[in-house]
Amino acid sequence: MSQRVGVIGGGQLARMMIPAATNLGLEFFVLAESPDSSARLAATTVGDYTDANTVLAFARECDVITFDHEHVPAHVLAALGDAGVSIHPAPHALHFAQDKLAMRERLTELGIPQPDWARASSAADCDAFIASHGGSAVAKTPRGGYDGKGVRFISSSDEVADWLETGADILLEEAVSFRRELAQLIARRPSGESALWPVVETVQANGVCSEVIAPAPGGEGPIEEMAADIARRVANGLDVTGVLAVELFETTDERILVNELAMRPHNSGHWTIEGAVTSQFEQHLRAVLDLPLGSTALRGESIVMVNILGGPATGALADRLPQALERHPEAKVHLYGKSPRPGRKVGHVTVLADILEDAVAQARGAAGFFQD
């Protein structure tokens, strides 16, 4: 009997698990927010992931439950756990991806290098942290942020007055002086086996990932070792199962610090679909089913992924496909079946090449056809 994987959330991460599930002969189910979800190609149930009964009914048809996003409420996760559902990552791990204050506290306990941080519950807390960190800080809501949402660069507590008014604590972090951003992806099975892809460079625009370069240029040696060591310690220390993405700062003084964590396939790993022997989507499915992990070796010298953000101002995304494919026969175009909105991730392009500059030019060129 094939194993039945259920994914909560019908976004592009669930969608990109479909090919991997198809190949491995798994049965694949999605609990989606709406009938026109990105993952609608798979066997889809439409329902509210914040409703425990809905999620329990969905989970009863599956052997394991995993996630497209981190927003399933704790009370729903607890109900699943009480019902004996196999959940990966487990709620006790997922907690640290849902709550950034809990994550910072736990990473401190584990001695993982990270920016200076503090819990702030008042304007005085904020102003004190800002004063002791050169007059600025990064303020974050502990929950619900993604793609730059829930993050502000501040120089005064006035700029987070609305957040403080809600009564919830906020997270303050030093504004790290970094050379670039990196991401280290790791997959870990319940039995403990883990596998890492090479560390990659990520480029952000307006708080959203715009490009990923694999492997990170000049990432061999100490940087590679530090990034891998951090990812292993986080995955083991937090008991993460499935894919864990560790977003990192490479500082101007050559340290590697943890920026964010995601416990699921991640934008920084989309290049693995064509670029690695085992993609992050296949590896995630293998990991959550406790199947042996696959090789993470690269299929090319340089691999570049460019996000398609927003889409055309007029006409449909698909209308641009002929031109993009015509001009870039090497480009692997991925469209997520989503309606374009300014800044929304609606697809991506991956190119493998012997020369990094060629891969960058082709991937940007092909992605550019889908944007105005």
Q: 237-276 mask for its own copies (x: CB under 8 A)?
A: ------------------------------------xx--
Instruction: Select from 154-162, 217-225, 255-263, 334-342 the region that touches its own copies (CB under 8 A).
Output: 334-342
Rule CB under 8 A: choose which of 47, 73, 294, 368 binds its own copies. Answer: 294
Q: Residue 181 corresponds to which amino acid?
A: E
22 is a contact residue toward its own copies (CB under 8 A)? yes
297 is a contact residue toward its own copies (CB under 8 A)? yes
- Taking the C-alpha atoms of residue 27 and residue 29, their distance in angstroms, rounded to an integer, is 7
| 241-to-47, 84, 195, 321 alpha-carbon distances in Å | 25, 17, 12, 37
191 is a contact residue toward its own copies (CB under 8 A)? no
**Beta pairing, strands 27-32 & 43-46:** parallel
Instruction: Select from 54-62, 94-102, 115-123, 319-327 the region that touches its own copies (CB under 8 A).
Output: 319-327
Residues 43-62 touching its own copies, rule: CB under 8 A, are 43
Rule CB under 8 A: choose which of 13, 31, 32, 42 binds its own copies. Answer: 42
Instruction: Select from 23-31, 82-90, 101-109, 201-209 the region that touches its own copies (CB under 8 A).
Output: 23-31
Rule CB under 8 A: choose which of 91, 113, 310, 337 binds its own copies. Answer: 337
286 is a contact residue toward its own copies (CB under 8 A)? yes
- Taking the C-alpha atoms of residue 10 and residue 194, their distance in angstroms, rounded to an integer, is 26
Judged by beta carbon, residue 300 or residue 365, the one nearer its own copies is 300
Rule CB under 8 A: choose which of 132, 136, 295, 339 binds its own copies. Answer: 295
Instruction: Select from 139-147, 164-172, 211-219, 295-303 the region that touches its own copies (CB under 8 A).
Output: 295-303
Rule CB under 8 A: choose which of 57, 78, 161, 318 binds its own copies. Answer: 318
* CB 195, min distance to its own copies, A: 8
Judged by beta carbon, residue 297 or residue 355, the one nearer its own copies is 297
320 is a contact residue toward its own copies (CB under 8 A)? no
345 is a contact residue toward its own copies (CB under 8 A)? no
30 is a contact residue toward its own copies (CB under 8 A)? no
| 206-to-159, 246, 252, 276 alpha-carbon distances in Å | 18, 20, 21, 28
Q: Which of 327, 339, 341 is nearest to 349 (CA)?
A: 327
Rule CB under 8 A: choose which of 5, 13, 21, 94 binds its own copies. Answer: 21
Rule CB under 8 A: choose which of 155, 192, 322, 372 binds its own copies. Answer: 322
278 is a contact residue toward its own copies (CB under 8 A)? yes
* CB 163, min distance to its own copies, A: 37
325 is a contact residue toward its own copies (CB under 8 A)? yes
Q: What's the burial of 101, exposed, middle or buried (CB within 10 Å: 0-12/13-18/19+)?
A: buried
Instruction: Select from 81-89, 90-98, 238-246, 317-325 the region that touches its own copies (CB under 8 A).
Output: 317-325
Which chain residues interact with its own copies by CB under 8 A?
1-3, 15-16, 18-19, 21-25, 28, 41-43, 273-274, 277-278, 286, 291-295, 297, 299-300, 316-318, 321-322, 325-326, 329-330, 332-337, 347, 352
